[in-house]
Amino acid sequence: MKLIETQITGTGSYVPRRILTNADLENMVDTSDEWIRARTGIKERRIADKNEAASDLAYKASIKAMEAAKVTSEELDMIIVATITPDMIFPATACILQEKLGARKIVGFDLEAACSGFLYALSIGSQFIATGMYNTILIVAAETLSRITDWKDRNTCVLFADGAGAAILRPSHGSSRIISSYLGADGSGADLVKVPAGGSRLPASIETVKNRQHYMKMKGNELFKKAVKMMAQTIEISLDKGNLTTNDINLFIPHQANIRIIKAVTKRVGLSMDKTWINLDRYGNLSAASIAVALDEAIRKKRIKRGDKILFTTFGGGITCGSILLEW
């Protein structure tokens, strides 16, 4: 059976209106604008309103993606939502989003791969297109990380923020297509970034709340080293699978976690920072939504044109990783 190639026909994104600057954080924890910029490259980040959940951000990004792709809710066959901050443990945020969109009786499920979520969703969605099982798939990455951020921990609260990005996947009838993809995981690093409590291992209790175990915990130095190594490896694998080199890449969109990580990765694989899309200075780390928001922003600012080769790479809690190469 000949597999059908997949293309992205439209993208959309949404970030909340509230801006939390480094100066604001100086009044909340023992930190400084200079320290945050030097360590992370972040200047400000967006924070969801108290009434905004992941599905609300996902809905706004999805509407924009559907408009860009000229797709209606009746045409959707599947919804995949990548998130580590779902509206609730269950039902799936994808099902809540399905109802908001009025997309009745279609497949919907959540995917949890932390910061790698959007690339995992893109790769998984493309498999359903490839086999001809589905024709039109909405993938969304939506995060409200401010809800699981410990605002007393200066090592993590400066990093994370809220936002959502979406894309419509459909069969390719031309050169626009996913060229290659690679996904990976290394469970030996599962302890490096996590939310310890709230699952079956440590159900919510008075003790877990007192110990602030429902917030993200991160071993930054160890994670940094693994991130650089894994991102570089995934890039090499996806380029090799696509029979391309870094010289063929028109735009590199990495996970927007930390400017030092991005610079280290580009140096290791021989990519130019001039070809690298950076928006973490304005949005911080959006986890699964990071690449999705960056892609939509690059498209709307006309940084991407037809025929361009786009390279994505990411890493996230798990540790998960991935890289996807596509022709726009």
Candidate list 22, 157, 258, 285, residue with the active-site label: 285
- HSE, side-chain direction, 13 A CA sphere, residue 180: 17
Strand positions, DSSP E, 60-218: 78-82, 107-111, 137-144, 162-171, 177-185, 193-194, 217-218
135 is catalytic: no
Candidate list 22, 95, 255, 258, residue with the active-site label: 255
> Given CA atoms 220, 49, 21, 212 in this order, what sign does their dihedral have?
negative
Q: Is 205 exposed, middle or buried (0-12, 13-18, 19+ CB in 10 A)?
A: exposed
Q: Which ranges of 218-258 does DSSP label H, i.e. alpha helix?
A: 220-241
Measured distance CA(142)–CA(164) in Å, rounded:
4
Q: Is 325 left (phi over 0), alpha (psi -120 to 50) or beta?
A: beta
285 is catalytic: yes
8 A C-beta contact, residue 240 and residue 196: no
Q: How far, rounded to the nearest angstrom, does the alpha carbon of residue 270 sit from its chain's CA centroid?
A: 23
Query: In DSSP terms, which residues pair with 313 in a beta bridge?
Result: 254, 323
Candidate list 95, 115, 157, 321, residue with the active-site label: 115
115 is catalytic: yes
8 A C-beta contact, residue 142 and residue 164: yes
**Strand arrangement, sheet containing 107-111:** 6-14, 162-171, 137-144, 78-82, 107-111
Q: 237 is written with which tokens?
A: 């694998």
Measured distance CA(205)–CA(152) in Å, rounded:
20
8 A C-beta contact, residue 78 and residue 125: yes
Of 182, 93, 77, 101, nearest to 144 (Cα)? 93
Measured distance CA(269)–CA(288) in Å, rounded:
23
Residues annotated as part of the active site: 115, 255, 285
